[in-house]
Chains A and B, each alone.
Chain A
Amino acid sequence: MPYSGKLRALYYLGIHTVWKWFHLLGAPKSFFEISGKLLPWFGVAAGLTITVGIVWGLAFAPQDYQQGNAMRIMYMHVPSSILAQSSYMLMATAGAVFLIWRIKLADIALQCAAPIGASITVLALATGSVWGKPMWGTWWVWDARLTSTLVLLFLFIGVMALRSAMENREASGRATAVLAVVGVINLPIIKFSVEWWNTLHQSSSFSLTEKPAMPAEMWVPLLVMVIGFYLFFFTVWMMRIRIEILQRENRTEWVRQLVSEKVSDAV
């Protein structure tokens, strides 16, 4: 084959570029610099999208013929539930990356995702509960969807507790990564709980592969909110990762430089 040599060269070049970027982003200092440039854009985008989504969902989206205006709770509940699961997936992916390649930044990312994920899961549970009261007549039932989401909250809390309980950073990094990865088993349970068991919780109204059953006037603002929540997650995740990097690298020259610049700015 006449092109095989060129193709192979291109292939190695590709691998080399990806690998270089992987390492560049994996280095705490370069992540700090790159994220510093991205952060304001993400923040503004998240703020705008969520504001538009909230106003749209509260005032302009049509009401449901069965659930009336209580359906507006969906614009908070569905995005937080989707994000709760996605943030767990991202946290577990960071855990896997840390276990396989020992990249320090992955350990930091895992640690920083846990408190955000926990708070978003609390939001999903709380909003679901407030929706349940007028619709089902109860704040809580031990139904499969609700119980498995509660387990998700405990997994996030478990990761946080394990981290703070162990002194040795290397050992606690490995232990939390293993816990996060093993906990992934809960995600398909949450997803299919409404199909496998006869639950009180309604089945999914939104999926990646199928056309939504509701009219566009309802799902477009929902999609806006979901995008806004993702943008928000990446914004606050970056914020926390940046602080954790500073704390871990506080003895290095570049962090000391940054601190002394801050001090001279303040004076």
Chain B
Amino acid sequence: MQFETVAEFLDMDGYGIYVWSVYLIGIGVLLFNVIRPRLLQKRFFEQQSRALRLEKQSADSGDAS
């Protein structure tokens, strides 16, 4: 460990604002790249299952008539 106290770790010899903002941006960009495809996947399955349901419904009503 290069730092004695938490305050020292946060301050980074006065470079704290730069160092910490870089790590924040970095983690933000990485998270975005994980969350975005997960949302796309969720949306895909929602759309497809809705389409599947509609198809089934129309097939069922077709049988009835």
Contacts and interface: CB of A to CB of B under 8 A. Distances in A.
A50 B29 CA distance: 13
Interface residues of B, number: 31
Nearest to A229: B30
A133 B18 contact: yes
Interface stretch (A88-96, A97-105, A153-161, A239-247): A239-247
A80 interface: yes
A259 B45 contact: yes
27 contacts: A60-B2, A63-B2, A68-B15, A70-B15, A76-B22, A76-B23, A76-B25, A76-B26, A80-B26, A127-B26, A130-B18, A130-B25, A131-B18, A133-B18, A232-B30, A239-B41, A240-B40, A243-B37, A243-B44, A250-B44, A259-B45, A259-B48, A259-B52, A262-B49, A263-B49, A263-B53, A266-B49
Which DSSP category, helix, strand, loop or mixed, fits chain A's interface?
A: helix
B49 A236 contact: no
Contacts of B30: 50, 232
Contact of A62 (B2, B16, B48): B2
B60 interface: no
Contacts of B2: 59-63
Residue picked from B9, B22, B33, B53, most chain A C-beta under 10 Å: B22
A145 interface: no
A69 B12 contact: yes
Contact of B37 (A59, A73, A240, A266): A240
Interface stretch (A8-16, A115-123, A204-212): A115-123
A247 B45 CA distance: 10
B13 interface: yes
Contacts of B36: 115
B13 A54 contact: no
A34 to B, nearest CB: 18
A215 to B, nearest CB: 14
Contacts of A59: 1-3, 9
A58 B13 CA distance: 13
A262 B26 CA distance: 34
Contacts of A256: 48, 52
A123 B26 contact: yes
Nearest to A134: B18
A72 interface: yes
